[in-house]
Amino acid sequence: MIFSLRIQELCGCGLLGVGIWLSVSQGNFATFSPSFPSLSAANLVIAVGTTVMVTGFLGCLGAIKESKCLLLSFFIVLLVILLAELILLILFFVYMDKVNENAKKDLTEGLLLYHNENNVGLKNAWNIIQAEMQCCGVTDYTDWYPVLGENTVPDRCCMENSQGCGRNATTPVWRTGCYEKVKMWFYDNKHVLGTVGMCILIMQILGMAFSMTLFQHIHRTGKKYDA
């Protein structure tokens, strides 16, 4: 189990490194949401990496030193994370329609910042997602009309991308909105995502069980070293 905690700690360090690299080298790639400007890919990876690294460090150090204090801290951190995940999952499914409605509204409002010089990252993010997923706008391509003008969409919405193609009303563009495309991607990969989520859940439960087992063992043997 100590080996798996070491692996977890190293994975956390790796994720943290990737997040820092993304933040430094891809700083102009921002979030799609104007309501959550800090919710970028780099910041998410940094947050996840830091959490995984600190959690793994607590568990590993507690196991090596046989410290009841560190083992208890490791258990509490895992428990808090597990409860937070379950609560967020339940709230997501209970308020799914509300979440979809607010997400679409927020993303559509974010389109208005497409040509804002202070939001270059948002523009790059939309260009990348539309080119990679072959979609246009939030709900559909007409979402761009109030932003860029009638019959005008970003060039990355064109089926055959070329300079200024988005201004030509006769140029074929992707009709499906990006929100629907992302939902379809999650649905198509639900088995993979479910498997990954189940593996994470099992690892968390095993980590909690390991920490409490070792904690009880130390307590029964009367070990005095608690820190």
pTM of the model: 0.71
What is the pLDDT at residue 127?
A: 87
In a domain? residue 227:
yes
In a domain? residue 101:
no
Contact call for residues 60 and 5 (beta carbons, < 8 A): yes
In a domain? residue 145:
yes
Residues 2 and 89 in one domain: yes
Q: Report the CATH number at residue 125.
A: 1.10.1450.10
Residues 7 and 86 in one domain: yes
Q: Which structure tokens are listed for 107?
A: 């993303």
Alpha-carbon distances of 168 from 131, 143, 164, 197, rounded to whole Å: 18, 16, 7, 45
What is the pLDDT at residue 169?
A: 62
* Count of the separate structural domains present in the chain: 2
What is the pLDDT at residue 144?
A: 92
What is the pLDDT at residue 118?
A: 67
Instruction: State how far the Cα of 138 lies from the Cα of 96, in Å rounded to an integer.
Output: 17
In a domain? residue 134:
yes
Residues 132 and 206 in one domain: no
Residues 51 and 74 in one domain: yes
What is the pLDDT at residue 135?
A: 92
Residues 69 and 110 in one domain: no
Residues 43 and 86 in one domain: yes
Residues 19 and 83 in one domain: yes
In a domain? residue 153:
yes
What is the pLDDT at residue 41?
A: 63
What is the pLDDT at residue 224?
A: 47
Nearest 5 degrees, angle CA 119-CA 121-CA 125?
Answer: 125
Q: Which structure tokens are listed for 84?
A: 């937070």
What is the pLDDT at residue 7?
A: 61
DSSP notation for 72-96: HHHHHHHHHHHHHHHHHHHHHHHTH
Residues 118 and 155 in one domain: yes
What is the pLDDT at residue 16?
A: 62
Q: Which domain holds residue 110?
A: 106-188
In a domain? residue 100:
no
Average pLDDT along the chain, 227 residues, taken 10 residues at a time: 58 64 56 60 71 77 79 86 87 85 85 76 82 90 89 88 78 88 88 83 82 82 54
By residue count, the chain amounts to: 227
